């Protein structure tokens, strides 16, 4: 997918079905990356809501009360994520199975997070599919549901079913959704936000392309010529261009420009400095040129963005 945002794409509509004793950690590991993807891209890539089978809310395993946006019976969308977490066996009953089978006709994709795969399998919705579950339940899950091809993997996509293990794999699932919607470059930026500097992870996804992004982010006020950037990476400019196109879907010049404009957007929203100063800090000698590039990327100007969100 291209590096640049796609303003014509509708947000992916996600409903998250929670039950009492759901995992705060698992929920945060899905929602925070999706929230960050929206923030970093400057558009609504993902929309989500919290749903329940009945009542008005649920309590997490740590006692946190969370108000639901709606009941499952009233919702439809792109993805339904099922997240019972602790005490999942008490929710694997006729009521939940009937509700999930009905929801399967209203949602394009069903996803089992943490122990949610058990509820989907109990409803017969994973029959003939490859699937996984929380590591602690793999053996019992395999023994209980012979119709499911159980695999020990972090995240499994099989047609219109997605399954993953615990909280850390929920984060991996979110990363894959981001990449499918907006491309590897946005995924890389979100991973960088949550995982720290890529330079500390030599085996990280992306290789030369990821190292190039690190260099770009470290040299925003005085941008490096692409040839010099490639030289610092010990590669030719043509090699760097091939790698960024293959890994991130765009030429290094495009990626560098977007990184600088991301910084400009952050400064516009988080500081009161002038547009001229923002331009200087983002490697533009001319504020008008920065404003034109900003408008092309985000559909508005820094001044207008401040008025809209201030």
pLDDT tens-digit map of 173-230: 999 999 888 887 788 778 877 764 333 333 344 578 888 888 898 899 999 999 999 9
Q: What number is the average pLDDT over the span 63-91?
A: 92
d(CA 132, CA 112): 9
**Residue 116, token pair as written in the block:** 């949610």
Contact 285, 249 (CB under 8 A): no
| Higher local confidence (pLDDT), 108 or 244 | 108
- Among 5-14, 141-150, 153-162, the minimum mean pLDDT is found in 5-14
pLDDT at 8 over 70: no
d(CA 127, CA 32): 31
HSE value, Cβ hemisphere, 13 Å, CA-based, for 88: 26
Which backbone phi and psi does 208 adopt, to 5 degrees?
-55, -40
Q: What is the pLDDT of residue 199?
A: 34
- Among 61-70, 76-85, 124-133, 204-213, the minimum mean pLDDT is found in 204-213
Task: Write down all domains in the chain, each with its CATH number in brackets.
Answer: 12-182 (3.40.50.880), 198-310 (1.10.10.60)
pLDDT tens across 53-64, in order? Answer: 988 889 988 888
* Length of the chain (residues): 310
Which percentage of the chain shows pLDDT scores above 70?
93
Which backbone phi and psi does 136 adopt, to 5 degrees?
-65, -20
Q: Which class for 188: exposed (0-12), middle (13-18), buried (19 or more C-beta within 10 A)?
A: buried
Q: What is the pLDDT of residue 310?
A: 58
DSSP string covering 224-238? PPHHHHHHHTTS-HH
What DSSP element (H or E) covers 192?
helix 184-195
Contact 111, 81 (CB under 8 A): yes
d(CA 6, CA 45): 9
pLDDT at 249 over 80: no
Residue whose pair of structure tokens reads 């989500």 in the numeric block:
48
First-to-final CA distance of the chain: 33
pTM tops 0.75: no
């Amino acid at each position: 997918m291209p590096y640049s945002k796609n303003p014509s794409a509708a947000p992916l509509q996600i409903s998250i079905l929670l039950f009492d004793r759901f995992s705060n950690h698992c929920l945060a590991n899905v929602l925070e990356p999706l929230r960050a993807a929206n923030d970093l891209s400057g558009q609504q890539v993902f929309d989500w809501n919290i749903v329940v089978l009945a009542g008005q809310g649920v309590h997490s395993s740590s006692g946190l009360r969370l108000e639901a946006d709606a009941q499952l019976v009233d919702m439809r969308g792109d993805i339904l994520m099922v997240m019972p977490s602790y005490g999942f066996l008490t929710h694997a009953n006729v009521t939940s199975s009937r509700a999930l089978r009905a929801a399967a006709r209203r949602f394009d994709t069903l996803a089992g997070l943490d122990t949610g795969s058990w509820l989907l399998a109990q409803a017969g919705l994973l029959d003939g599919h490859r699937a996984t579950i929380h590591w602690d339940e793999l053996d019992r899950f395999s023994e209980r549901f012979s119709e499911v091809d159980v695999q020990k993997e972090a995240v499994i996509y099989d047609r219109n079913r997605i399954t993953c293990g615990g909280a850390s794999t929920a984060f991996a699932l979110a990363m894959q959704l981001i990449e499918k919607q907006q491309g590897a470059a946005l995924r890389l930026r979100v991973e960088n936000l949550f995982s720290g500097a890529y330079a500390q992870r030599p085996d990280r996804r992306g290789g030369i392309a990821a190292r190039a992004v690190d260099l770009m982010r470290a040299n925003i006020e005085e941008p490096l010529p692409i040839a010099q950037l490639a030289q610092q990476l010990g590669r030719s400019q043509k090699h760097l261009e091939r790698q960024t196109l293959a890994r991130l879907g765009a030429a290094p010049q495009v990626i560098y420009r977007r990184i600088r404009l991301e910084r400009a957007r952050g400064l516009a929203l988080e500081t009161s400095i002038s547009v001229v100063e923002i331009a200087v800090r983002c490697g533009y000698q001319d504020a008008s040129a920065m404003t034109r590039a900003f408008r092309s990327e985000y559909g508005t100007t820094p001044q207008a963005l401040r008025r809209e969100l201030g």
